[in-house]
């Protein structure tokens, strides 16, 4: 029979060990769930070995003092979808915008994500305007203010791929 250790406050107690090491804190969620919250994002595509020190919370038979387990993080990857080249609604016909989106396998660092897609128009780097979906895995981009010349076709290049 197990008996709950007095004082449910476990701050400062060593309840988990991870290999590779993970810095963070255990948190009580509700009155029966203990969750470990890492202080930084975990490494992509990594298998972790963990030990949960049950004897830090409850008195139990010695053979149940440590609960070992493993878990893995997914490998980060992405795909880029090119959507459309459009005139501005109600605007001049020589002003256009190009749109697409980037889909990531896992939640990324947003600043790093915005560096994946680069654009140039007529040989000059042009900025992309980004909007990130609330799930932080779908990232929409727009290349604005592309001015079409009536004399010659324009050239929009995204990461070496010619679009126009």
- What burial letters (b/e) apply to 74-107, b meaning 16+ CB within 10 Å? eeeeeeeeeeebeeeeeeeeeebbbbbbbebebe
56 and 122 both lie in a single domain: no
Question: What total of structural domains would you count in the chain?
Answer: 2
92 and 156 both lie in a single domain: yes
Of the residues 72, 95, 119, the one at which a domain ends: 72
23 and 68 both lie in a single domain: yes
115 and 93 both lie in a single domain: yes
Say if residue 6's pLDDT is above 50: no
Position 161 scores a pLDDT of: 66
Which range of residues forms the domain containing residue 52? Answer: 3-72
Where residue 9 falls among pLDDT bands split at 50, 70, 90? low
56 and 83 both lie in a single domain: no
pLDDT digits (tens, 9 = 90+) for 26-83: 888 887 888 899 999 999 999 999 999 988 788 889 899 999 999 999 999 999 999 9
């Amino acid at each position: 029979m197990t008996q709950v250790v007095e004082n449910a406050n476990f701050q400062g107690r060593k309840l988990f060990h991870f290999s590779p090491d993970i810095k963070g804190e255990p948190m009580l969620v509700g009155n029966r769930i203990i969750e470990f919250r890492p202080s930084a994002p975990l490494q992509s595509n990594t298998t972790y070995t963990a030990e949960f020190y049950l004897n830090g919370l409850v008195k139990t038979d010695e053979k149940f003092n440590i609960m070992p387990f493993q878990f893995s993080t997914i490998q980060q990857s992405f795909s880029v979808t090119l959507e459309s080249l459009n005139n501005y609604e109600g605007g001049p016909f020589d002003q256009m915008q190009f749109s697409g989106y980037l889909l990531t396998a896992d939640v990324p660092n947003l600043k790093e994500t915005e560096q994946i897609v680069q654009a140039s128009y007529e040989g000059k780097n042009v900025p992309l305007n980004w909007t990130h979906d609330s799930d932080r895995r779908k990232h929409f981009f727009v290349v604005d203010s592309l001015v079409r010349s009536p004399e010659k076709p324009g050239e929009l290049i995204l990461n070496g791929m010619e679009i126009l």
